[in-house]
């Protein structure tokens, strides 16, 4: 039982080592934050006289 599980884990590990999908997700979260705050203040500008 333990043996195949371990194999699977090693496999994922090798596969994940070169992955930067977390980085991509992180920078896009950052990007969305920049957009939300900017749009927020832009709307304030538009709504004020």
Partner 1 sequence: MSSFTEKIKKVDPRDAKLGMAHFYVAFIGLFIGGMAGLLQTLVRSGQYTLPAGIGYYQLLTLHGVVLALVMTTYFIMGFQLVAVSRTAGTLSNKQRTTAWIGFWLMTIGTVMAAVMILLNEASVLYTFYAPLQAHALFYVGLTLVIAGSWLGSAAIIMAYVAWRKQNPGQPSPLLTFMALVNTLMWVVATIGVASTVLFQLLPWSLGIVERVDVAVSRTLFWYFGHPLVYFWLLPAYMAWYVVVPKIIGGKIFSDSLARLSFILFLLFSIPVGFHHQLMEPGIDAAWKFLQVVLTFLVIIPSLMTAFSLFATFETFGRSKGATGLFGWLKELPWGDARFLIPFIGMLSFIPGGAGGIINASNQMNQVVHNTIWVTGHFHLTVATAVILTFFGISYWLIPHLTGRTLTKAMNKLAILQGVLWAIGMTFMSGAMHAAGLLGAPRRSAFSEYGGAAQAAEWIPYQIAQAVGGSILFIAIILVLYIFINLAFFAPKGEEEFPVGEAANLAEKAPMVLENWKLWLGIVVLLIAFAYTIPFIDLIENAPIGSKGYKLW
Partner 2 sequence: MHIHKFEKIWLIFGVATLLVFLSVIGVSAFYLGNQPPSCLATINPEKVDTTAPFDKPGLNKVEGKEWDYELVFVASAFNYTPGEVEVPLGAKVKVIATTKDVVHGFNAAGTNINMMLEPGYISELVTTFDKAGEFLIVCNEYCGAGHHLMSSMIKVVE
What is the binding site for partner 1 (CB under 8 A)? 12-13, 16-23, 25-27, 30, 33-34, 37-38, 41-42, 44-45, 48
- From candidates 4, 6, 14, 49, binder to partner 2 by CB under 8 A: 49
d(CA 47, CA 42): 9
Rank residues 7 and 38 by Cβ distance to partner 2 and give the closer one: 38
> Can you list the alpha helix ranges (DSSP code H) found in 1-49?
2-17, 21-47
Report d(CA 40, CA 27) in Å as an integer: 20
Binder of residue 6, out of partner 2, partner 1, none (CB less than 5 to 8 A by kind): none
């Amino acid at each position: 039982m333990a043996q195949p599980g371990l194999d699977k884990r090693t496999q994922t590990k090798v596969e994940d080592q070169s992955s930067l999908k977390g980085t991509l997700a992180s920078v896009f979260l950052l990007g969305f934050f920049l957009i939300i705050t900017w749009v927020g203040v832009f709307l304030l500008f538009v709504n004020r006289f």
